[in-house]
Amino acid sequence: MLSRLPARPSLTEMADFIVSPAVLESLKQAGRVLILPHHNPDGDALGSATGLARAILAEGGRAELYLTGAWSEHLSYLLEGLTLPSSQPDPVHYDLAALIDCHSFDRLGPESPALAAALADVPLVVIDHHLLAKPSDQAASNWFHQPEASSTGELVWLVIKSLGWVPPRLASQALLLAMAADTGFFTQANTTPAVMRGVADLLELGGDLEEIHRRLKKNLPLRRLKLMGLALDSLQLHFNGRLATIMVTPALLAAAGAVMADTEDLVELGRSLAGVTLSALIKDNGHGPGTIRVSLRSQEPVDARSLALLFDGGGHRQASAYNDPQAAEAGAALTNLLARAEAFL
């Protein structure tokens, strides 16, 4: 005899996280919102920020994005038709600021102090899934902070749904991309039932996963493939094949005709190798000490975040990063990494 499937719960009952009422009320009342994703926004940050912006615009509000740093060229289409201030935003133009995929102005790059000072009197909400950077940090009532979430895109969708808004198709696409980017296109352990329920909701609203896959994984410029080949030539294995490292230098970028934003996903090349439990991508932009960026990707049971914290970095258990405060070039950053990494493997 076949057992009967349980009835599908309502959208409210399915929500794994409860959105702070303060966040909902702030967004509901705000007419002019400034949205700030973290410095060098990735797929989750840019997808979440643009998805929220388009949802606000569809409800008759005003939303602008202030971006710092650089982002991958294949994500730029998310910004089409949106307003991006070309200079530091004037606080008199906004009645709400929203930090997206970060929970501190410190994550906004070199402009952080100026932005924090300029927006000090503007009400703030935070939507983020990263662990708190410091033990002394505490989430406030105006935060929707859930480190257990797969992505900030998942959280932004819950905010929009809790507000009763119906996002336009472009917002649904952006949020699907955000979720896909931070779950390895729904192949990693953080692809939970809650994530897939959100995906189903957004598909019903017009989302298209095939288009997102094409945007993320196909239609790549030739320089990215050249960069991938040169990066593979630099790949080294350490500690009996458990750690893979790749170095990207100004000379390597020049040889490929590429830019640093083209390095996204290179760290996954090392993690894909049999026996590798930790992959590190060392990015040297030629600007000297404190600017060498190291991206980490791990397989269980390796905790990449704990390793990144030794260098004042952070992130997630299997995806983290840090700027090496001591290294002036990629070779020194590799030496510093090797001195610390074995204990985590």
Residue 217 confidence (pLDDT) above 90:
no
Residue 11 confidence (pLDDT) above 60:
no
* Residue 112 and residue 72 share a domain: yes
* Residue 204 and residue 72 share a domain: yes
Q: Which residue range(s) make up the domain with 252?
A: 222-344
* Residue 329 and residue 193 share a domain: no
320: helix, coil or strand? Answer: strand
Domain boundary among 216, 236, 254: 216
Q: What pLDDT is attached to residue 156?
A: 98
Strand-pairing partners, residue 297, are: 279, 319
pLDDT level of residue 132 (50, 70, 90 thresholds): confident
Residue 6 confidence (pLDDT) above 50:
no
Provide the residue type at 22 as one letter: A
Q: What is the pLDDT of residues 100-128, one digit of tens each?
A: 999 999 999 999 999 999 999 999 999 99
Note if the pTM is more than 0.85: yes
Q: What pLDDT is attached to residue 136?
A: 57
pLDDT level of residue 211 (50, 70, 90 thresholds): very high
pLDDT level of residue 1 (50, 70, 90 thresholds): very low
- Our separate counts of H helices and E strands in the chain read 13, 11
Give a yes or no: residue 332 inside a domain: yes
Give the residue among 205, 206, 209 at the shortest CA–CA distance from 179. Answer: 209
Q: What pLDDT is attached to residue 188?
A: 87
Q: What DSSP element (H or E) covers 319?
A: strand 319-324
* Residue 241 and residue 198 share a domain: no
Give the residue among 206, 201, 203 at the shortest CA–CA distance from 169. Answer: 206
| Alpha carbon distance 292, 331 (integer Å) | 10
* Residue 153 and residue 42 share a domain: yes
Q: Which residues 6+ apart lie within 8 Å of 46 measured at CB?
A: 37, 67, 71, 75, 78, 79, 174, 178
Domain boundary among 216, 245, 267: 216
Q: Which of 91-95, 217-221, 277-281, 304-308 shows the lowest per-residue confidence on average (mean pLDDT)?
A: 217-221
Residue 285 confidence (pLDDT) above 50:
yes
Give the residue among 225, 313, 238 at the shortest CA–CA distance from 270. Answer: 238
Q: What is the pLDDT of residues 152-166, one digit of tens each?
A: 999 999 999 999 999
Give a yes or no: residue 277 inside a domain: yes
Q: What DSSP element (H or E) covers 262?
A: none
How crowded is the C-beta side of 325, counted as CA atoms within 13 Å? 6
Q: What is the pLDDT of residues 58-76, one digit of tens each?
A: 999 999 999 999 898 889 9
